[in-house]
Structure 1
Amino acid sequence: IAARASRVTDEMLMVASTTLAELSGEVEDASAILPPLTVVSQISRRIAFAVARTAQQQGHALVTSEEDLLAAIERNFWTPEYREYRRVAMRAR
């Protein structure tokens, strides 16, 4: 989305998978298959960057500078914001 690629190719999917696999190897727990959820946003940004660069190299997205691409990824990145919940007592009917 950030790169405005005209299509998603098999190579882009492979780059996303490879990047995730490489980053999964950086976790402290050697038995973990995936990184912990606490770092999912950083990993998602790195995957987005790698896929966007591949789209640019393949001619499916306009080539931009690294800074512009990172800024576009930040602008398009969704960060969940949840309302704070508080427990309330339910009255019996």
Structure 2
Amino acid sequence: MMRFTLGIPGFDDAQIPRIIGLAGGSLLIANHVLGSQPTPLAQTLAEVLGLALASLAFAIPNLDAWVNGGKQAASATITGARNVFSLAEDLSEDAKVVRAR
């Protein structure tokens, strides 16, 4: 889902959305607890929306693994299935190398 890396050794970059969601949700809860009481309706609605978005960001790594796992399992369960890579016979060797990358 996210196509960049932090380059930190030992850190799985797929977990970046989860960390962002956890940090955002924590800040929203801290803002609610430390904010003015009683909480205005507009602030409450904004916090509910923010928590929904933080929850979605927290769940993205699981959703990504579920979707990608389903794609791999679907192709692996077909009996007699095989992968085929074919190029046109009239292509030059250089063109074949470029397309095969």
Select the structure with the greater relative contact order (CA < 8 A; seq sep ≥ 6): 1
Structure with the higher fraction of residues in helix conformation: 2
Q: Normalising by the residue count of structure 2, what TM-score does the alignment of the two structures yield? A: 0.30
TM-score by length of 1: 0.32
Q: If you compute each CA radius of gyration, which structure gives the higher value, 1 or 2?
A: 2
